[in-house]
Amino acid sequence: MHLMLEFGGGLELLCESVKVHNVNVDMPKGADKLTMKDLLAWVRTNLIKERPEMFMKGESVRPGVLVLVNDCDWELSGQLDTTLEDKDVVVFISTLHGG
C-alpha cells in the first residue's frame, strides 16, 4: 500500500531530517487491512533512526504528538484503529519541548 508520511515539529530529525517519506507498507500477515497501529510499528522499525522514545510511547505516539490522516485529526477516525487506504497522507507533528 502506498502512503505519504510527513514528519514535523522536530520529529523529522529522528528520521535523518527528511520530512516527507513516500513509502510502501504491506498489510500484516494474515490481515486484510492496515491500521494506524500497524503503521506506527512499521515507522518505528523502518524510519525512526534515533531516540524512538521521542516519537512513541507504548504502542501509540507519545502524548503531545499530533497525528493527521488526510488532513484530519486522527482522534476523529479512531486513533490506532484508523484503517488506512492506498495513497493516504499521514502527518506526525510534535508539540513537545524537544531535547
Partner 1 sequence: MEADAKPMKLGGRLCCVCNQRRAALKRPKTLEQICRECFYAVFEEEIHQVILENKLFKPGERIAIGASGGKDSTVLAYVLSELNRRHNYGLDLFLLSVDEGITGYRDDSLETVKRNELQYGLPLKIVSYKDLYGWTMDEIVKMIGLKNNCTFCGVFRRQALDRGAALLKVDKVATGHNADDIAETVLLNILRGDIARLSRCTSIITGEDGPIPRCKPFKYTYEKEIFMITLGCQSLNELSTYAYFKKLDYFSTECIYSPNAYRGFAREFIKDLERIRPRAILDIIKSGEDFRIATSTKMPEQGTCERCGYISSQKWCKACVLLEGLNRGLPKLGIGRNQGLNSDAKKDIKKDDRTKSIESKQCGSLEF
Which one of residues 16, 26, 50, 73 is an interface residue with partner 1 (CB under 8 A)?
A: 73
The dihedrals phi and psi of 88, each to the nearest 5 degrees, come to: -65, 150
Which one of residues 2, 50, 51, 95 is an interface residue with partner 1 (CB under 8 A)?
A: 95
One-letter amino acid identity for 55?
F
Which three-class secondary structure state does DSSP give residue 47? Answer: coil
Binding of residue 68 to partner 1 (CB under 8 A): yes
The nearer residue to partner 1, 22 or 71, going by C-beta atoms, is 71
Task: Classify the phi-psi angles of 38: left when phi > 0, otherwise alpha if psi is within -120 to 50, otherwise beta.
Answer: alpha
Which positions lie near partner 1, rule CB under 8 A? 8-10, 12-13, 62-64, 66, 68-73, 75-79, 81-83, 85, 93-99
